[in-house]
Structure 1
Amino acid sequence: MARHVRDAENAWNRRDLDAIVFGNTIDCHWRDRVHFLWGREQIRAHAQRQVCREIDARVLLEGWAEGVGRLSLRFAREFRDDGGTWFRVYGSEDLQLDAAGLVTRRLTAANELPIAEYERALRWPAGARPDDHPTLSELGF
């Protein structure tokens, strides 16, 4: 579980659309808040819009539970919009995986709220989160 979670986190933090998209089956179903997506093309378009909208985004994922072909995560994401307002998103994702470990279904629930810049907790240079950065649990999220 830990490797799958970290790989997904790194893909988002590196803004690596190919890694985000190809971690899913070709006919994967996503529900990301109010967006319902089917297939890699829709996932790529959605992820592209998200990385363009979420400037200086950082995401921190933590495995929550796992079972045969199932993985549950919780996450926090921080970003600013083009007006300079910072946001924090708290949420959870439930994943269904195929035998190769690709996501066949991704269900995301999240809440987004504006925060002041000084309230940011996910601070590291652009790219993958450093290994010594506190986890969600260590941050008290």
Structure 2
Amino acid sequence: MPEQRPPLPPFTRETAIQKVRAAEDGWNGRNPERVALAYTVDSYWRNRAEFVQGRDAIAAFLTRKWNRELDYRLIKELWAFTDNRIAVRFAYEYHDDSGNWFRAYGNENWEFDENGLMRTRFACINDLPIKESERKFFWDRSAPRPADHPGLTELGL
């Protein structure tokens, strides 16, 4: 039986929101090997100016990312969806090893196979330096964003 990652396409508004939240929770867990399992074995990414293909390359990319982007916290929000595609907007906060804080803003376009695995991911991202006092994402960094924590719209982002 093939691997499946429900909810499966075709998406409804409800299942698209579930898929977005599952992705957010996975990335906030910062476990590269586990996150990579949400993608097809030959998944193709464009992340900023970097091109990544396959689960092993995705896990290696995420390992590098989370070794640089410390205290990473992410919020994703559904923007649009069709049968097997979802568009999201997101923001995340992190600091570097010198203690400089950033908020990254971006958009992603996702395409899924029939088993709910992401086959393509195209991400456009911009980083904004912020002061630590300007942070908006506060929750235990080892846990998903709590259900009562505001989302991007509520935070004015």
Residue of 87, 100, 111 corresponding to 1:85: 100
1:18 aligns with 2:33: yes
Structure 1 residues 1-141: aligned runs within 5 Å? 1-126=16-141, 127-141=143-157
Instruction: Give the deviation of 1:113 after TM superposition.
Output: 1.3
**1:65/1:73 contact within 8 Å kept:** yes
TM-score by length of 2: 0.88
**1:11/1:17 contact within 8 Å kept:** no
Q: Deviations over 1:50-103 (max 9, x none)?
A: 111111010000011000110000000000000000000000000010011110
**1:29/1:105 contact within 8 Å kept:** yes
Instruction: Give the deviation of 1:3 after TM superposition.
Output: 1.4
Q: Secondary structure at the match of 1:121?
A: coil
Structure 1 vs Structure 2: percent identity of aligned residues?
43
Instruction: Report runs of 4+ in structure 1 exceeding 4 Å deviation.
Output: none
Q: Which runs of 5+ in 1 are unaligned?
A: none
Instruction: Give the deviation of 1:18 after TM superposition.
Output: 2.8
Query: Whose strand proportion is higher, 1 or 2?
Result: 1
RMSD: 0.8
Q: Secondary structure at the match of 2:154?
A: helix
Higher gyration radius (CA): 2
Structure 2: distance between partners of 1:18 and 1:42: 10
